[in-house]
Structure 1
Amino acid sequence: MDGRTITVHHVRAALGGARRLGLDTVPLLQAARIPPLLLGDDRARVTPVQFSGLIDGVRRATGDEFLGLAPAPSRCGTFAMMCYACVGCADLGGAVERATRFYGLFPGGPELALERRGPDAVFTVRNDLRGFAEEYFLAQCLVVVWHRLASWFIGRRLPLRWAGFAHPAPPYADEYAPLLGCPVRFGAERTGAGFDPEWLAAPVVRDESGLRELLRRTPAELIGRGEDTMTLAEQVREALVRALRGGREARLPELDRLAARFAVSQATLRRRLNEEGTSYRRLKDQVRREAALAGLSEGREPIAHLAARLGFSEDTAFHRAFRRWTGTTPGAFRRAARAEQAPGVPPRAPALRRTAARAPLPGHPTGSLLRGRD
């Protein structure tokens, strides 16, 4: 699995339906190897594998592919049958039309449509399913999953011209532009995404054997797309994460090495990242932060060695950065994480910085608010 990550807001959101149904969420987090302590840190992120495990656990616990987030439940297997109904279509337009008709058969579910607006073809969520606050994220998830699945059907990333969401911007609104690879507007008239209608004629290149493999790995597969469907920012971020997997001697590559890897100049790399709403420094800072949290939560690596591996010239610089990220020190964070993981010890109130309201997320079987960007 690649290294892109998911914001903790979406972890909280994925648990919203389970909480409303009176289920104990701590065992769900623990089964997915997500420390409950992280839910108190608004900038925390988890890996696609962790998030995938959480989505699977909540889906089983609720018996609902919408994770208890929609006005009406979606029986397990519904998403798979929709995919099987679409994979035999000749082109993307036929597949999207069939998907919208399929979900239209279920009362209380999403009202999806494929429309023409001026020069654009538009995938639209006509109802935002907003019986509960969490369902903002269900609507967001429907757009993201549709885009990932459409790209999978045609074997390449479907370029979007724009995306819009018919609700106010959440605290993590800047997640979506890099995720979808296009300008994103909140407070739009409708939720949906527009693209060049010529893509409707793109042939569906997948078959049922490939779909079985996709469904076996879902949601992880739709969270972790291959480089052919990734933005440059996602590819750079993955390269940074992979660089840290080489053990204790691993180091993050500098900008010149990354530019050489992607066969572009440093200036071009900076410009293209800027066009996608990010920068090398921002991506590096995010990867450092996530690696620091993981290293302190799960490992026994000395803090000084961890600081050096993350590219800090001295311990004090690492301590300053970590306090900026979390509002606490590396040592205090490690002690709290170890105490929380001790047998028989209930989760403690976290001492991390809280900077935004808690927010819930998708209820799709793929639960895919995926990815990672700061």
Structure 2
Amino acid sequence: MWYECDSRFIAAHDQPAGLIDLALSRGIDSHRLLRGCGLFYEDIASGQALISPQQYLQLIANAQRLLGDDDLSFLYGQRLLPGHYGEASLALQRSADLLQALEHLCASHALLSPLLRPSLLLDEQNLYLYWLDSCGAGPQRRFLLEACQTSVLALSRQLSGQRLPWRLQFAHAEPAHVEQYWVHLGEEVRFSSQLTLMSLPRQYLHQPCPGASPTAQQVSAQRCRQHLEQLGWRDSFLDCLYDHLQEHIRQPLNLERVAATFGMSPASFKRKLQKHGSHFQEQLDRVRKHRALYLYQIMGYTNEEVAQHLCFNDTTNLRRSFKRWTGLAPSGLGRGFG
């Protein structure tokens, strides 16, 4: 199964509390901050409150509106990882190297990053970490992307004891407050990219972490897996749909066939997607775009090979669709995501 945008499973005293404390430290009244979220500060302080992704997103929207700071997402991101989230955070802190920590982050994202799912990709030179919208973040997606990229930079610095040469890129255009990106993320930042992701040369992935504890990490990671088994899910509905489309992208795909695979009628499947602020064609296009970029930029495929891989009748239809997805012709792409 999966979690959805209204599933209450996020411990309010974990990631949400970091944002609440940040807002309270700047003089924001807790009642105003939590308005529309369906909970009170006393609920969070009790350590028992569980909230849904929708409530979490409302909290972010309130904080943005009340604080209006250009650096809010970056300051929040610095608090996110490894965090103080029990065994999930301990497994990060005890990792043998950065790759193990990132693999744990991806495997336990429902506990560590429930709104955006981190995904890893390796080629011969680099590791790429990109983010998938798990619950329909809408207007809060950019805030989350900024916070999540910041959180991985902070985590990698803590684990390695040094600032690693990450390169970051964002799909949105360069903002007016670009200096905040330079201050918090460094100057290796690009905008108006096809994907929001971060990349790092592979030689940094296996450098031993000074605070590593292999046995303790193994125990904490196992307890995280048990926690996820008790919840009954590892991924969101949109995550599961993305994975299914990825797995079957070389086959003809339509709403009816995919809905049947998920055990729903087409009408129910449409409503489920609408609840998450999306529709089937948007989800299918997202997967096709990601796969096409990978085939062109990492694998070096030709138009004919990509068209065949993605079940397009001819290269003309592929180029037309690719232009719609990216705003570019395939010939306008360079090699490599970074």
Length-normalised TM-score, structure 2 = 0.40
Length-normalised TM-score, structure 1 = 0.37
- Bigger relative contact order, structure 1 or 2 (CA pairs below 8 A, ≥6 apart): 1
Greater helix percent: which structure?
2
